[in-house]
Amino acid sequence: MSIHYCEKCMSFFLQTPHTTYVCGIVNGKYLGHIYYGKKLQDQNLRHLMGVKADPAADNINHGDTGIFFDNFPFEYNFDGIGDFRECALDVHTSDGHHGALCEYRSHKIFKGKPKLQDLPATFCNNENECETLEIELFDPVISMTLILSYTVFSDVDAICRHVRVKNEGSRPIFLDCVMSAHLYLPEDSYDVITLHGSWGRERGICRRELPYGISRAYSKRGVSSHQAHPFIAVTSRNASQTSGEVYAMNLVYSGNFIAQTDGLVNDDVIAQIGINPEGFCWKLEYGETFTAPEAVLVYSGEGLGQMTRTFHDLYRNHLIRGKYKDRKRPVLLNHWEATYFDFNTEKLLDIARSASRCGIEMLVMDDGWFGNRFDDHRALGDWVVNEEKLPGGLKYLVSEVNKLGMKFGIWFEPEMVCPDSDLFRAHPDWAIQVPNRENTTLRWQYVLDITRPEVLEYVWASVRAVLKSANIEYVKWDMNRALCNIGSKDLPADRIGEFFHRYVLAVYELQGRLVTEFPNLLLENCSSGGGRFDPGMLYFSPQIWCSDDTDAIERLKIQEGTALIYPLSSIGAHVSVCPNHLTGRSVPFETRGHIAMFGTFGYELDITKLSEEDLQMIPKQVEMYHAYNDLVREGDYYRLASYAENHGFDSYMVVSKDRSKALLTMVAVAYRINHRAYKIRLQGLDPNARYYIPAMECHLTGDALMDAGIFVPTPWAGGDYRSFVWTIERDD
């Protein structure tokens, strides 16, 4: 890892363990992108910007700058000055003029990584682990400073970028678009990958040929959303799990975003990620700075699998925090699918008693414990225990659960208020709303305007009081609707474009307070399943509920798309009942356990109603979880076959960092009659080491397992939805 500035070629070299990123200065002022890819030695690469090797020879013809501005591979480009491609920065003045042209002013290179103001971001665990480059650019016409920040790490091939804009002029300026990363890629045949879905079908992998013009994933829902994801990967056309080039970007942010490519007519490509400019406008007064969220860039020259493992390592080591960062999480049982709103203390204790007998370690009480919350039509905001359901309150229930040797967790949806609630009746103006327009309910609820200090303080005080009232060791923080009818009492007209971002900052403020005041708490974020599963939330909670679709077969696709970027340790996954409540599908209990095991693992069912056969399987699954979770949490993840890609079966493995142990999972989804065997080529093993697979009673070298593969006889499967998890151990 290193960052170096070459005076002679006026270029910056950023080196990660296996990748290089280069940008340079042209005409003494324009910052251009030069190279991102496999590791190269520091050398003069200025010809890649279409200019001479010697900066003294730079001669941009100022009689005709337009040709230059619209063609130059800007490191970060500007709207309004004759660059007609998708621009990274769009700003207007109080006179209404758009445009900026920021020129190189200075730079600094230093050890460590500064925090981002009010925003979650990756961090280094000690100063020597990373190095940061900050390039300062300046627009003299509007007195605006732009700082482009880049951090490289010693242990992971990622580059974390962010941008700060400062108004140094006497009059306000308005930011209409500030991308967090802008990447200029040279002509090639590319595909583009984004993640899309809906409620219950999050993060499906969507791959297509990169088109001319714009290809965009976006959210304008106020959350990162079920429908799209703050991620984009540009890959070489033939890129697979194990080969080909991948340029990926992920935004450490939980609100509106765009992730897009602009396929240019000269066949080059621009890739960008940042806050969605639609509905965004940030007013900067003199001396004020705006910090855009962090973008993570990953290059892999060895296909998508390597990209995945880089993101996993980065997030496990440099984003996820707190007590449970590197720890096994308690096996929990959440009663949501067991009872929905229909529960009371006795019912919960019945469940807890059976659960504790099976080795389950925590009971999570979901929605319905407060106010008049007998269904989802009412009471959000009234965070007072409903003693009709829970006589003796939380104190009694929690102490009874604790007596069983179990921990206790609780559900909240702090950002919301129902029109039918005491809170709304007392403070109707606390909901986000546009005056005189009938407010839109979604799931019978409004969103609280937590950008207002008094509302934020109410929310914080409510959550805090409940958590202080009993021995609560886990919180599921839910968020079940998108934001619309944007209006806020405190924001003047020229600041209403700040609302969405201010909302996200308020969520971060609340969650920051939560993890600071309750450092032992296990926080699990959730948003109608996985509607806010993003790196921003991972900074606060080591795990996020992945989807309300708990059907194990559907989960194969959802968890595959999620694990494309996020570590298995972060993926909330539970065993639920069959027929599944959403899909009606029945899958063997064993298979449900195998699939949940490659996430956080837990149960979401009425354990008191299980068949004896299923019940008896729980202690075995819990034992398996304890045996394998260290490997699942810490190991390298390899995708071997994908049901989502129509392979008819799903297979993946996790290999320990020292390559001495591995777990191989296979799920037969559509059983193939008269088919000799499923062939699986393993990955990630040491080719020269010998391994033992107890289930096959065979000893083979890593190269044989990876190059020749193994044949799993189809009759073994015994029908659709059968699965196995096999251990593989080094034995030389």
Catalytic residue set: 478, 548
The residue type found at 59 is N
Considering the complex, state which of residue 219 and residue 480 has its C-beta at the smaller distance from ligand DGJ.
Answer: 480
Residues 6+ apart with CB under 8 A from 554: 200, 201, 547, 580, 582, 583, 585
Interface with ligand DGJ by CB under 6 A: which range of 36-44, 400-408, 524-532, 722-730? 524-532
Rounded Cα gap, residues 21 and 2, in angstroms: 11
Considering the complex, state which of residue 334 and residue 462 has its C-beta at the smaller distance from ligand DGJ.
Answer: 334
**Residue nearest ligand DGJ (C-beta atom):** 367
**At its nearest, how many Å lie between ligand DGJ and the CB of residue 569?**
19
**At its nearest, how many Å lie between ligand DGJ and the CB of residue 444?**
11
Rounded Cα gap, residues 312 and 328, in angstroms: 17
Considering the complex, state which of residue 151 and residue 511 has its C-beta at the smaller distance from ligand DGJ.
Answer: 511
**Residue 232: half-sphere exposure toward Cβ, Cα within 13 Å:** 26
**At its nearest, how many Å lie between ligand DGJ and the CB of residue 550?**
9
Residues 6+ apart with CB under 8 A from 493: none
Interface pick for ligand DGJ out of 169, 222, 330, 529 (rule CB under 6 A): 529
Kindly write out the interface string for residues 73-112 of this chain, putting x where it contacts ligand DGJ by CB under 6 A and - elsewhere. ----------------------------------------
Considering the complex, state which of residue 361 and residue 367 has its C-beta at the smaller distance from ligand DGJ.
Answer: 367
Residues 356 and 348 sit within 8 Å (Cβ to Cβ): no
Interface pick for ligand DGJ out of 139, 478, 534, 606 (rule CB under 6 A): 478
**At its nearest, how many Å lie between ligand DGJ and the CB of residue 601?**
16
Considering the complex, state which of residue 367 and residue 382 has its C-beta at the smaller distance from ligand DGJ.
Answer: 367
- Helices and strands (H, E) in the chain, number of each type: 14, 39
Interface pick for ligand DGJ out of 131, 367, 382, 534 (rule CB under 6 A): 367
**At its nearest, how many Å lie between ligand DGJ and the CB of residue 334?**
7
Residue 607 CA, distance from chain mean position: 32
Interface pick for ligand DGJ out of 231, 280, 336, 589 (rule CB under 6 A): 336
Rounded Cα gap, residues 172 and 160, in angstroms: 29
366 binds ligand DGJ (CB under 6 A): yes
**At its nearest, how many Å lie between ligand DGJ and the CB of residue 572?**
9
* Closest of 615, 531, 49 to residue 255, by C-alpha: 531
Considering the complex, state which of residue 185 and residue 479 has its C-beta at the smaller distance from ligand DGJ.
Answer: 479
526 binds ligand DGJ (CB under 6 A): yes
Considering the complex, state which of residue 131 and residue 337 has its C-beta at the smaller distance from ligand DGJ.
Answer: 337
Rounded Cα gap, residues 481 and 369, in angstroms: 20
Kindly write out the interface string for residues 390-429 of this chain, putting x where it contacts ligand DGJ by CB under 6 A and - elsewhere. ---------------------x------------------
Alpha helices in 142-215 (DSSP H): none
Q: Is residue 238 classed as helix, strand or coil in its secondary structure?
A: coil
Which two tokens mark 413? 């949806």
Say how many residues touch ligand DGJ, by CB under 6 A: 12
Interface with ligand DGJ by CB under 6 A: which range of 22-30, 46-54, 429-437, 521-529? 521-529
Interface pick for ligand DGJ out of 528, 543, 651, 683 (rule CB under 6 A): 528
**At its nearest, how many Å lie between ligand DGJ and the CB of residue 415?**
13
Residues 355 and 333 sit within 8 Å (Cβ to Cβ): yes
535 binds ligand DGJ (CB under 6 A): no
The per-residue DSSP string of 511-565 comes to HHHHHHH-TTPEEEE-BTTBTT-SHHHHTT-SEEE--S---HHHHHHHHHHHHTT
**At its nearest, how many Å lie between ligand DGJ and the CB of residue 308?**
25
Interface pick for ligand DGJ out of 473, 548, 554, 590 (rule CB under 6 A): 548
480 binds ligand DGJ (CB under 6 A): yes
Considering the complex, state which of residue 376 and residue 420 has its C-beta at the smaller distance from ligand DGJ.
Answer: 376
* Closest of 127, 92, 95 to residue 112, by C-alpha: 127
551 binds ligand DGJ (CB under 6 A): no
Per-residue buried b or exposed e for 292-307, using 16+ beta carbons within 10 Å of the residue's own CB: bbbbbbbbbbbbbbbb
Rounded Cα gap, residues 413 and 98, in angstroms: 41
Considering the complex, state which of residue 160 and residue 416 has its C-beta at the smaller distance from ligand DGJ.
Answer: 416
Write down the residue that tokens 């974020």 correspond to: 525
Residue 324 CA, distance from chain mean position: 18
In this structure, the chain runs to a length of 732
Considering the complex, state which of residue 23 and residue 466 has its C-beta at the smaller distance from ligand DGJ.
Answer: 466
* Closest of 198, 276, 291, 185 to residue 233, by C-alpha: 185
Interface with ligand DGJ by CB under 6 A: which range of 458-466, 482-490, 525-533, 676-684? 525-533
654 bridge partner residues: 637, 663
533 binds ligand DGJ (CB under 6 A): no
Considering the complex, state which of residue 294 and residue 478 has its C-beta at the smaller distance from ligand DGJ.
Answer: 478
Interface pick for ligand DGJ out of 184, 299, 545, 637 (rule CB under 6 A): 545
**At its nearest, how many Å lie between ligand DGJ and the CB of residue 355?**
18
Considering the complex, state which of residue 333 and residue 728 has its C-beta at the smaller distance from ligand DGJ.
Answer: 333
| Other CB atoms within 10 Å distance of the CB of residue 108 | 11
Judged by CB under 6 A, the chain residues 224 through 253 that form the site for ligand DGJ are none
The per-residue DSSP string of 255-307 comes to SSEEEEEEE-TTS-EEEEEEE--TT--EEE-TT-EEEPPEEEEEEESBHHHHH
Which two tokens mark 501? 């971002």
State the Cα torsion 120-125-128-133 to the nearest 10°: 0
Considering the complex, state which of residue 168 and residue 376 has its C-beta at the smaller distance from ligand DGJ.
Answer: 376
**At its nearest, how many Å lie between ligand DGJ and the CB of residue 545?**
6
Interface with ligand DGJ by CB under 6 A: which range of 163-171, 259-267, 495-503, 523-531? 523-531
**At its nearest, how many Å lie between ligand DGJ and the CB of residue 447?**
15
Residue 330, preceding bond cis, omega within 30 degrees?
no
Rounded Cα gap, residues 308 and 567, in angstroms: 9
**At its nearest, how many Å lie between ligand DGJ and the CB of residue 419?**
17
**At its nearest, how many Å lie between ligand DGJ and the CB of residue 360?**
17
Interface with ligand DGJ by CB under 6 A: which range of 299-307, 526-534, 660-668, 676-684? 526-534
* Closest of 370, 384, 380 to residue 444, by C-alpha: 380
The residue type found at 674 is N
157 binds ligand DGJ (CB under 6 A): no
Q: Where do contacts with ligand DGJ occur on this chain (CB under 6 A)?
A: 336, 366-367, 376, 411, 478, 480, 526, 528-529, 545, 548
